[in-house]
Amino acid sequence: MSRISLSRFLIEQQRKNNAIDAELRLSIEVVARACKAINHAIRKGALAGVLGEAGTGNIQGEAQKKLDVIANEVLLDANEWGGHLAAIASEEMEHPHPIPTDYPKGGYLLLFDPLDGSSNIDVNISVGTIFSLLRCPDGVDGTDEKVFLQPGTQQVAAGYTVYGPQTMLVLTLGNGVHGFTLDAEIGSWILTHPNMTVPEETKEFAINMSNMRHWEAPVKRYIDELLAGKEGPRGKDYNMRWVASMVADVHRILTRGGIFTYPRDAREPNKPGKLRLMYEANPMSFIIEQAGGAATNGHQRILDLQPTALHERVAVFLGSKREVEVVTRYHQS
C-alpha cells in the first residue's frame, strides 16, 4: 500500500466536495516546507552556532533565542512571495507583516508562533511551531490589525509541528485531526496518525506547580482534588507532566489523553492569562476540539472569544473533555 504524503492528502481534500481551495492548500504546504527548514536548523544546534540568546526582545518583552529569530525569518521568507496570503502576523512582531508590494496578494491570513517553548532549546527538549489560517474579507487591507481579530471559530485550518525524537506535523482543516511524520530521507511529510482523538477521561495533568501560591480558588480546588488521588473526591491517582512547551504538552495529551492548564494568577492580576489567544490558544483549541476534546478559559469556550488585540492573552484549560468540564464548572460556580 502506498504511503500518503501531505501534498497528496491536501489534494484529495481539495477534490472531495471542494473541502479546501488551491490557495489554502498552498498556504499549508508552504508552512510545512518552512517547518522542515526550521527542523534542520534545530537539529544542527551548537554545530551551526544557533543556540543561546539572540540579545534582542520580542513584543511580549521576552528575551529571544537565536532560533526564535531564525524560525520567524524562515516563516516570513517562505510565505511572502507565493501569492496566497494577504498578510502575516507573528507572536514575535508587534504589527502584521505586509506582503511586499511587488508580490501578489491572496485571500488568507497566516498567524504563527514560530518557536513555542524556545526556553527548552539549549537543554535539547522538544519545541514546536504553531500556526493558524483565517480568511481575509474581500476588499480589506490585510495589514490592518483589526482584520486578524476573528474568533477562533473562523479558523479554516490550524496545526503545529513538534520537533522531537520524530518531527511531526499535526493538522486540522475542520474535519478531524491528522498527524504527519517527517521522513527525512525523502524530505516528505507522511500521514502516520489519521483521525487522532483525545480520550474523554485521563489520569494525567499538565500545570506549572511552582505557581500554586498565585492561583485562583477554582484552580487550587481542582488541582488539590487531583493530588488527593484514590482517597480524594476523584477516586483515582493522577500523574503530573510538565514540559514547559505547549506544543509538547498538547501533543502528549492529543496522543494519550490528559488536561493542559495554564491559568491566570495573581502575579499579573490585570492580565486574563499568560498564553496568546491568537497564536497559541485558538489554534490549539481548534485542534483539540476537532479531536473530540474541549478547551475553555475557565468560563467559556475559547473558540467563541472575540479577540480585542493581536497579542491578547488568555487562560487555557484544554484536553480530555470530562476534565475540562470539571475545572470549568468550578470557575463558573
List residues forming the annotated binding site for Mg(2+). 91, 113, 115-116, 280
Smallest CA-to-CA distance from 308 within 149, 131, 116 is with 149
Across 174-262, the runs of DSSP E, i.e. the strands, are 177-183, 188-193, 204-206, 239-240, 259-262
Residue 252 near residue 241, CB atoms below 8 Å: yes
Residue 128 burial (C-beta neighbours within 10 Å; 0-12, 13-18, 19+): buried
| Other beta carbons within 10 Å of 175 | 13
DSSP state of 78: H
User: For residue 278, how far is the Cα from the chain centroid?
Assistant: 9
Residue 87 near residue 147, CB atoms below 8 Å: yes
Q: At what angle do helices 217-227 and 321-332 cross, to 10 degrees?
A: 140
| Other beta carbons within 10 Å of 260 | 29
For the residues of 129-143, what is the DSSP string, one character each?
A: EEEEEEEPPTT--TT
CA–CA distance, 256 with 202 (Å, rounded to integer): 8
The b/e string for 73-103 (b: 16+ C-beta within 10 A; e otherwise) is ebbbebbbebebbbbbbbbbbeebbebeeee
Feature table: binding site for substrate:
116-119, 208, 274
Feature table: binding site:
91, 113, 115-119, 208, 274, 280
Residue 110 near residue 157, CB atoms below 8 Å: no
Smallest CA-to-CA distance from 317 within 287, 292, 288, 295 is with 295
Q: Copy the grid coordinates of residue 133.
A: 489560517
